[in-house]
Structure 1
């Protein structure tokens, strides 16, 4: 029904496209464009008369008309005497084609009912002059053609107010349920098959849309499946009869075949089937009767025994893998924690090394500053030594000047002494002269006083010069000692500068070495982080392995087998582990020694001695 509905829709769409193509061809005829532009109905009648006859005969064209730009009918080739009527109120395809100046096609209701219309704009010398329309019939004749072609009945329902009217139909029957048509108006599609006696009818109802895409009703397609249903019933009946006959014949043949092959099988088929069913359900504890089995029975027994042994080994292996994966997961978890702790300690060490690097760098800067200060002090000490030398020279010159001054003072004292003697002699001579020498005596007396005062002053100056000479001598001695001390200081400053230079060089080398250590610790930290990621991946893989081992154990648990010695040994070992009897030693298990996962874990993860971390009190844990 869906295929037929699609085919009918394609037929309608094809006729709409045909109408549009014919209208487009007519709109491109220059003579018709010119006559329409001149509003010449006679010319249009003359030019379109034969065209309309051919279109009606070949394509079933029912309408062929020209419209003005205001949607008035200008000329109808199918009715030349009717024109100039206003179509704008109900022929919306004409209005839209004139407004949009583009082709409009589809289903539209008109005065004569539904039609398949193609409306194309007409232009003359670049000016829009109106539209031309080709209309094909959507009528009873078209539906009868579709009915004969697809062997179906068709009905079109149009929405009118609150109800639906069957506009076109190829069958007389009651209208389709209104609720179904209401759903069709919402865009739904309805498919149903009804049966009444020997009659089988298929119903397909789909929305019917106009040129603008609006749903205006529904298209119902009905197909009678009665003949097909009768053929299908006959075929089913024949197949059932044939099946019963085949089953009867097959049963007889099966009985004879079973009897003929039971001897090569070595046992009855039902017994073999029972054994196979139990094995298929996982029960391998199958008892085989007979001391000397033969044929298929013997092969089946051998297969079950080998399968039983294989399942037992797989179970034991799964138990081993489960225990080992649990131990591996525990060790991986512990190793992951140790790796994380080591990463944390490396971070702390890197921070301490960074602080130490900054300290050493600061010391290097201070050493360089101390070198500069020591060189400056050394230069000033050298300059002080030169100044002291100059002071010593000046003191020596002062000492020589003091000696010369003493000599001059001695001369002055001698002159004063001689002057005093002369004055004394003059006084004596004045006394002898009597009254006439009295004035001269006064002068001589004054000269004598001056000579005495000069002698006294010269003596005092001499004493001062001698004291000054002693102090200059003492100062010169002190200056000499200061010069010697400055020489010692200068020598010590040279040694100090040399030592500070060596300290600065060593500090720079130490800073470089610590920088290399810091880089190595950074690389080690990266490696440790990478190892931590690998350990986490290994831990996750061990967990996944444990899950797979558990799943394998669950799958193997579906097989029921007798308890094997290996399984007994593992159960005994598990019991001793729970009671604590397996700590620190290897336990014998029925003739062989098995290391418990706990013992191996303790041996593998035994911690190495701890050592102090650089720059802090944290401890390093070795792998």
Structure 2
């Protein structure tokens, strides 16, 4: 524990700044100096931690005034008070420890000048190191002791010293402590730096006390009760163990809660996705059969196209729902309990994937609007074809029937497009609701991210599955565009129905391949 403070030097320097101090020392007016400094002395000791004394020195090295003993002065200090001589020599402040008649003393000295800036003496504020050590002892409730070197005894008044080799007991410990461990060898080691030694109940530390020029003047020894340290350590360990148990219980509870609220719904979603995949394969078969039927004639083409459009509508709805469920769950059935640590990052990816689904749904809505517009144009062309058939008379009667069927087909196509648009808009709203729910879930998972570092791989798999579903939706959209082209050609030029039928057959084959590939992807082939 450090024994030197800056208060002695600061107080001495402050007192030296009083102009009345310098003038009183110049005029050898001790009464005036006493009258000036006594209130300052009382104020310092009233608010100070330990008792400080103020001593004035006159040139070339004599006592001028002791505030606590004003009748004693003019005694020569030059033989042993080297700090006083150094202040007179350098005309600068000096602070530190110096041995004297009171033993080791913490001193702060400052030169005193009169109003003409002439050096007239010095002022010293000091306290005995024993008082500092005793104050530390009371404050920290730990015993301490001070051992001075042999040279200290030469400057002190005769006291009953107990020698330990060349070391003198200046301040013994106030409590019963194992002083038998304090040997001359132990103190000799302390002159070179801090050392320590222990027994069953006490930790003894020793460190050098250096004087104002950096020379070792003594040893400061502190006796620390190990039992109090052990009790404090034990209490800290128990607190840590309690907190650890609480964290473990909390983690188990969170794991159970997440398992109940995430894994079970994910298994249900996965089963639903499997059923949707089977339904998608069935729809693909129906679409292939419908495409083959188109080649048999215009009337059959109308019925097959109606079936195809209805099937595509169902496929699109199933894929949209499957994409949402896949983005929430694919793969979590087997690995969810190992993946919670990366939940926050994966949920962020899920949010972006759902946002992409929303965007694609809006794009699909735009495409359906385009289909509705084409159906309207097809209706107009069918009307024109009916007019042309009427002009042709009996020769155009069959063509008029075909034109009427095409117009009916266009009207049904427009109705189907509007129904599809409504379904897509509802789906987009559901996606937005799902987006908000997933975003809230992401905020909750962020709190458990440090316990769920492996969750990211699972969510990454979900993102990949969602991207595959989006790719399938794009393929179906392309197929719808191809069928739309076939219907447009059929309605615009009824005289080339044979060529258009062949084109439709080719497009139906392509659609069959796309749906077959989609089925293989969903079934994992």
Q: Give me the TM-score of the superposition, normalised by structure 1.
A: 0.34
Structure of higher CA gyration radius: 1
